Structure 1
């Protein structure tokens, strides 16, 4: 009798993680869904999914999770989907240390930590590791520098991990994600002492908050269906970057072919930062001869 394949999905309390856990379960996988809180994952139980509380930023939680899955599955993990994420909409020069640290802890250090701790299980299963990357890691969007830099770091981590994991027979996939219809938003207010606190700033901030909805987001269930297909189809030595979600392929092609200075102007204009930047130049213009 064939062994039932085992999947671990992080960030499964809503959105992509929630939908992907269900899609895996529908296809007969034994699924572990994890998040910091159990309550939002309660509906997953009717799909036969095991829900486990785990703060992915705490190594002791990750180790407990590893030991649990190893014990219950004879040391096998076939698919690890590092999906947990933290939004961060703030300018680079306004970002406080705690905000930056939280974003990097969840988006960069956590997937590195989880992958390391589950390495033995993945090697035994000749499994696959997947990451929820983002088109934000490719493009210079104002007020997304911290978030974008975490995703850019994740992209290169995945690319290097792919090389290092290849001789062990472990496949690595990076899902460069565009717009997906989820409840995840970051509506933080502009700090009163922000360098960007000039007339007109509320309009581009509103554009940023609604950017995903205007980019033809796909339902999380549709995204999950394609991602699970990718996990099942892609083999060792195959594709690394898979563009999934609304406008993902478009942005990927844009950043490949478009000169960077044009891309910068495009995003500044599209998000209505043009007048704001003009006001900033005027406010901080030097009077030196």
Structure 2
């Protein structure tokens, strides 16, 4: 550590966007702590100078211990990237409330709690950047994605309010809205919808959505996670970063169409895209 070395904490760093972001920030000269539940999946990051750290965003003691470890070892936290999250799809009627609550625990409350823990240190420094990974799904809706979209809409709202609150302390809040990205996310979401909505009254919709999420064509069109990593590197390095970055396959055009089309026209478009029957 030198007096000018900046420190970044990236959650959900065992694969996908989190891993790509950790590598980009390390390459940019940050001391990077890569956080995830399964530390063994991050051993390979050590060769890039990255420090794996055990952290479960749904377990408060692990968050407190993780932040304290970083402060003890480096004395500061300059960048927090709240990336940990997953997609839980299924009809509202089918998804158990325990699953809905867990989706919020991971995607929203974990990010909010970690933000609470790093803010006193950033305020003390009079500087810092908090990067919240939402999704184009924080601006639009897709069939059977109610609980996932609810978490991302919530994280967008929290980010907007937080940005105003922390501005007097020299802290920036940046929202990243990825489109389709080649990660484990789509496969997990497909498995979730099959588990709860592949039978019963919502089966035609559930199977169509699952097939759409896991299709080979969807994966081929999706952008690499490195694109998001590069975007985050650019954002945290900017003196005046934008408040939002919509990047990756489909992000900008789908958000635009959602904003300009009448609701029912957008609904019909989403049904066509995902193959969901209209009746």
Query: TM-score w.r.t. structure 2 length?
Result: 0.91
SS of residue matched to 2:221:
coil
- Gap change, CA 1:251 and 1:197, over 3 Å in 2: closer
Q: For structure 2, which runs of at least 5 residues remain unmatched after alignment?
A: none
Checking the alignment, whether the CA contact within 8 Å between 2:90 and 2:206 is kept in structure 1 is no
Aligned to 2:202: 196
Q: For structure 1, which runs of at least 5 residues remain unmatched after alignment?
A: 279-289
Which of 265, 269, 276 matches 1:266? 269
Aligned to 1:83: 83
Per-residue CA deviations over 1:27-54 (Å, capped at 9, x if unaligned) read: 1110000000111101100001110111
Per-residue CA deviations over 1:65-110 (Å, capped at 9, x if unaligned) read: 1111111122x21100000012101111111012111111100000
**Highest Rg: 1 or 2?**
1
- Gap change, CA 1:228 and 1:201, over 3 Å in 2: closer
- Gap change, CA 1:202 and 1:169, over 3 Å in 2: same
SS of residue matched to 1:118:
helix
Residue 208 (structure 1) aligned with residue 213 (structure 2): yes
Aligned to 2:258: 255
Displacement of 1:202: 2.7
Checking the alignment, whether the CA contact within 8 Å between 2:212 and 2:218 is kept in structure 1 is no
**2:92 & 2:46 partners in 1: Cα distance?**
41
Checking the alignment, whether the CA contact within 8 Å between 1:133 and 1:176 is kept in structure 2 is yes
Residue 245 (structure 1) aligned with residue 238 (structure 2): no
Aligned to 2:230: 225
Checking the alignment, whether the CA contact within 8 Å between 2:86 and 2:107 is kept in structure 1 is yes
Map 1:3-152 onto structure 2 (within 5 A).
Answer: 3-74=4-75, 76-125=76-125, 126-152=127-153
- Gap change, CA 1:170 and 1:215, over 3 Å in 2: farther
**1:8 & 1:246 partners in 2: Cα distance?**
26
Displacement of 1:190: 4.5
Q: Over the residues paired in the alignment, what is the CA RMSD in angstroms? A: 1.9
SS of residue matched to 2:218:
helix
**2:252 & 2:217 partners in 1: Cα distance?**
15
- Gap change, CA 1:230 and 1:201, over 3 Å in 2: closer
Displacement of 1:211: 8.7
**1:91 & 1:263 partners in 2: Cα distance?**
19
Displacement of 1:215: 7.7
Checking the alignment, whether the CA contact within 8 Å between 1:94 and 1:195 is kept in structure 2 is no
Higher helix proportion (structure 1 or 2):
2
List structure 1 runs of 4+ shifted beyond 4 angstroms. Answer: none
Number of matched pairs: 272
Aligned to 1:159: 160
